[in-house]
Amino acid sequence: MGSGCSKKDTTGPPPVVKGRPVASGTSRPSAGSLNKAERPVHAAAPAPHVTSGAAATAKGSSVTGGAAAPAAAAKAASVGGLPHGEMLAEMAEKGLEFFESDKLEAMQETASKLMSAIESIPLDDPTIAMFKEAYAGCYEVIQTVANLAIPPPGGQIVGAALVITAMIIKGALNVRACRELGLRINKLLPVAIKHRGAFERSGEAERHVMHDFFDCCQSAQDFIKGVLEQNFIIRTVTWGSTKDKLAILDEELAKVMDALNMTATLGTFSIVEAAAQENARVQRLIDEKGGADALAKDEAALQQLIENAKGMDGVALSMQRDTHSMIQQLQASLVGIVADGEQGVHQLIGQENLKVLWRDCFKHSEVVPWKTFFSVFPQRLQFIDPEEIQLIQAELKDKDERASFQLAVDADNDDNLSVDEVTRAFPANVGLLEQVRELKRKASRKGAHYALPPVPPKLFGRDSEVSKLAAFLSSPGGRVAMVYGPPGEGKLAVAITAMRRLYEEGTAKGGAWYVRMDGVTTREQLLARLVERLCKRPRPTDKEFGSSAALSARLSEMAELGTDVLVLIDDCEGLSAGPAAAGDERSVREELTEQLVVMLRDVPRMRVVLASREQLDVRTLSTALLETGGGQRALELPLGQLATDDAVALIRSVWAAGSRSDAEALVCTFGRTPLMLQIVAHVIADGRKTCDQALQCGGIHGLADEDYVTGEAFGRVSSSVLRSLQLLPTDVCSHLLRLAMVLPGHFDSSVLKEVFDIRPRPDGDKLLKQLHKYSVTSRDTSSRKDRYSVTAAVREAAKAVSRNRNQATALGVDLDNVSSGWVKFVALCARLARGDFEAYRSMPLRAYNAILESKPNLQAALRFA
């Protein structure tokens, strides 16, 4: 198997032969064995529906050789290092083994288990995203066939679906062309299902087409298997001939598609003709009674129609013989006759009442906005008890109830309702009230959209912040919160964890949206970014009014939905403080504030979280919220470094084999910033460095020099930090970088005088307050005098700058002055240490604490010396 994405199969999936997929080790039926005598014993009754959830929790499998439970498979995959794709391929191939028993229940259960396993894997995996797209059609076919419990060739179609599933998985992991071929074959399966009546008639033409269909599946399977078993070099060398084979297979697929459609049309012609004749005769009877509408409400006339319809040879009313139990069924038949009176897209809808509704209200439309649909449903339903209409209205009485219903039906998640979605949500013989209740109950999505980035499943030392933010956002009037702190402290992770908790609880049916402000420098860019990230799909920009009109339209849509909406805006500190547009006195930051006021006003149930390295001024937002009534002041949630115990726990969660003492040593060396600790822990856990080697590197920048992967990760962090520093005033940025390069531990304003010739008052105190405001330093207030330290991320970025003279000059840092600063710092450390040790002789307890506080600075001075 090429590229190592999936395990080479020594047995292979069961071959698809003419007529039936055969499990390995079983005998193959002859080409002429496609007949109704092969009907399974249990085929008369529909197979019980097995939901994905039930399959996911089942212990083991009732299928011979069936797939293991998804949770167990996922656990085995994570423990053994088995890639997701390999696990899925293995499950799909195992699922084929049950065909020796030909049990429809087993087909459905295996398909559901596979779907559950797929859904349990994170969506950010691009391989899984590709496979989900490919598998959706197969899964629908399998579920349809299993529920209908049709005889062969139904079982054979499901067999083909699962065989193709296995090769789609492998194709998606290896060669794009193979994946596309699998998808094309997959599109044939719904055609076979759609015309199953014709294929069950056992005619010679139908059997010939079905043989061609399965031969085509076999050829494609053999071709893809052959390509995937080549190594990368052979595959590259022979790709010319491979492309020619693909073209031939494409031609064969086109012929099979045409044949399937033609055969199905010919096979069903006589049935359609008989139904048309009966409908015409019944229609004459209906017209005599004053039309279908009047007839459906006249029970005596219905009884008479049943008597007159007896003995007909068609396929509709002639099936109904029990007068006492057929009134409701006759009403449904009348609705169907009325709906079938005109051609249109409504003919595709199976549920007769909805078919009539669509014909009357949306005659020429395949798709309608949900707002338009709810304006007529259920109040304009015909041929249905008024009490039932009232009960349906009660089920959809408020916007939250309608949102749950919409989430269950809107499979395309595009804010519109299509004929196809109605058809899938409402089968032909289902009761409307019962189905509306069922759809609300089993909505697969918690909200209209989820766009928040993935975060680690476990946050250390941030439980109180997450709980505080979640409680605020779920409280009445809690609409704006700001999470701020130095780089790498977990601002985004805290915000997303709290917002995801609310989304999973179903309290954000309007969706959870993510807007990143990196690179935004003008008002138009700001508006365009908001439109782009608050829409599921790109939408055109108004040529005259630009993005402003598009944003207003999108906000109106959110307001009309009437459900809670969560919006996370990240990288707010990157917004320029300069003019938002030519001739405009407002800055881009002020423009964001103004747009947020508009958003919160226009969408009353919107809640916004701002993530920033800098503490932003949210007073304007708080004032606007209070003026609207019912709103609270914006919540400001600062993040600092982790507590030592939490930092140690974080390292040991990644590096499980490490001791507590080793983890504590790493914390002392690399600081307590979560992002930095994760990088270090992964380097050690992956075996790229030992703990001792990491400690000897002297910091992340040293570790990055000797490890390419770490260097890449650190490079991204450093670049992000430096972009933020460039937004600071030039003098503040240069002072900060010099402090980060020279001072390894805590310092106060007196140290600035000794090392950098900065007067403590007012210059030194002013500088320290500015640096703390921009969240690039942390402050320790536990001692008599406030002490500061540069955050770990900034310090490491500064070390990288110190090795690039051109970059340092561009940022206003003279490296020669930095060197002289180091000399002054070493001299200061030596002088303070000498004083501390002399004081230890007379006041040991007091001096001991001073020695411990100065220890990091002294160690750095010794390393420099």
Residue 590 token pair: 């002020």
Helix (H) or strand (E) holding 609: strand 606-612
Tokens of 137: 């059609």
Residue 180 structure tokens: 């596309």
Cβ(637)–Cβ(468) below 8 Å: yes
**Mean pLDDT of the region 254-269:** 53
For position 377, what pLDDT does the model report? 92
- Rounded CA gap, 673 and 109, in Å? 47
**How much of the chain exceeds pLDDT 70, in percent?**
52
Residue 523 banded pLDDT, cuts 50, 70, 90: confident
User: What torsion do the CA atoms of 408, 409, 410, 412 make, to the nearest 10 degrees?
Assistant: 100
Distance CA 651, CA 649 (A): 5
Q: Give strand pairing partners of 612.
A: 484
Whether the per-residue pLDDT at 672 is higher than 60: the answer is: yes
Q: Which phi and psi (to 5°) does residue 748 adopt? A: -130, -175
Q: What is the pLDDT of residue 283?
A: 62
Are 43 and 101 spatial neighbours (Cβ–Cβ below 8 Å)? Answer: no
The pLDDT value recorded for residue 495 is 95
**What's the mean per-residue pLDDT of the chain?**
69
Structural element, H or E, at residue 278: helix 239-288
Q: Please report which confidence band the pLDDT of residue 719 belongs to, taking 50, 70 and 90 as the band edges.
A: confident
Amino acid at 394: A
Q: Residue 842 is encoded by which pair of tokens?
A: 């007379």
Report residue 635 as tokens: 């919540």
CATH superfamily to which 463-638 belongs: P-loop containing nucleotide triphosphate hydrolases (3.40.50.300)
Is pLDDT at 671 greater than 80 in this prediction? Answer: yes
What DSSP character marks residue 802?
T
- Please state the domain extents for the chain: 46-267, 278-441, 463-638, 644-716, 741-791+808-864
pLDDT in tens, 53-104: 333 333 333 333 333 333 333 333 333 333 455 555 555 554 444 433 445 5
Q: Can the peptide bond before residue 378 be classed as cis, meaning omega within 30 degrees of 0?
A: yes
536 touches 415 (CB < 8 A): yes
**Bridge partners for 516 per DSSP:** 570
Return the H-helix or E-strand segment holding 54: helix 52-57
pTM here is 0.53
CB 63 within 8 A of CB 97: yes
Q: Residue 452, exposed/middle/buried by CB under 10 A (0-12, 13-18, 19+)?
A: buried
**Secondary element (H or E) of residue 792:** helix 792-801
Alpha-carbon distance of 501 to 467, in angstroms, equals 10
What is d(CA 616, CA 482) in angstroms, rounded to the nearest whole number?
A: 8
Q: Which of 395, 495, 475 is nearest to 441 (CA)?
A: 395
pLDDT at 647: 92
Q: How far apart are the C-alpha atoms of 293 and 495, rounded to whole Å?
A: 57
Q: What is the pLDDT of residue 185?
A: 57
799-853 confidence digits (pLDDT tens): 888 888 888 888 888 888 888 887 888 777 777 777 776 776 677 666 666 766 6
If one compares 441 and 471, the residue with the highest pLDDT of the two is 471
- Whether 284 has a pLDDT exceeding 90, the answer reads no
For residue 26 the two structure tokens come to 């079983």
Collapsed DSSP state (helix, strand, coil) of residue 690: coil
For residues 852 and 684, what is the distance between their CA atoms, to the nearest angstrom? 28
For the chain, the residue count is: 865
- Residue 15 CB-density burial (10 A; 0-12 exposed, 13-18 middle, 19+ buried): middle
Which residue is listed with tokens 């992991």? Answer: 173
Structure tokens at 427: 């089968």
Identify which of 758, 738, 713 has the alpha carbon closest to the alpha carbon of residue 802: 738
Q: Is 17 within 8 Å of 218 (Cβ atoms)?
A: yes
Please report the DSSP string for 95-106 in residue order.
GGGGGGTT-HHH
Judge contact between 425 and 409, C-beta under 8 A: yes
Question: Do 419 and 406 contact (CB within 8 A), yes or no?
Answer: no
Residue 533 and residue 568 in contact, taking contact as beta carbons nearer than 8 Å = no
Q: Decide the pairing of beta strands 606-612 and 480-484.
A: parallel
* CATH number for the segment(s) 741-791+808-864: 1.10.10
CB count within 10 Å of CB 835 equals 13
CA gap 423, 431 in Å, rounded: 14
pLDDT attached to residue 8: 34
Give Cβ neighbours of residue 571 (< 8 Å, ≥ 6 apart).
Answer: 516, 517, 518, 611, 612
The three-state (H, E, C) secondary structure of 626-680, written as one string = HHHCCCCCCEEEECCCCCHHHHHHHHHHHCCCCCHHHHHHHHHHHCCCHHHHHHH
- Cα separation, 788 vs 781, in Å, equals 9
Mean pLDDT in residue range 174-185 = 55
Per-residue model confidence as pLDDT tens digits over 357-410: 888 888 778 888 888 898 899 988 877 788 888 999 999 888 888 888 888 888
| Three-class DSSP category at 796 | helix
Task: Kindly report the backbone phi and psi dihedral angles of residue 114, in degrees, each rounded to the nearest multiple of 5, phi listed first.
Answer: -65, -45
| 503 phi/psi in degrees, rounded to 5 | -65, -45
Do residues 160 and 169 make contact, with C-beta atoms less than 8 angstroms apart? no
Lowest mean pLDDT among 88-97, 543-552, 580-589, 736-745: 88-97
Q: Is the backbone of residue 739 left (phi > 0), alpha (psi -120 to 50) or beta? A: alpha
- Sequence-distant contacts of 80-84: CB under 8 A, at least 24 apart: 83/5, 83/6, 84/121, 84/125, 84/127, 84/128
- Euclidean distance between CA atoms 449 and 218, whole angstroms: 39
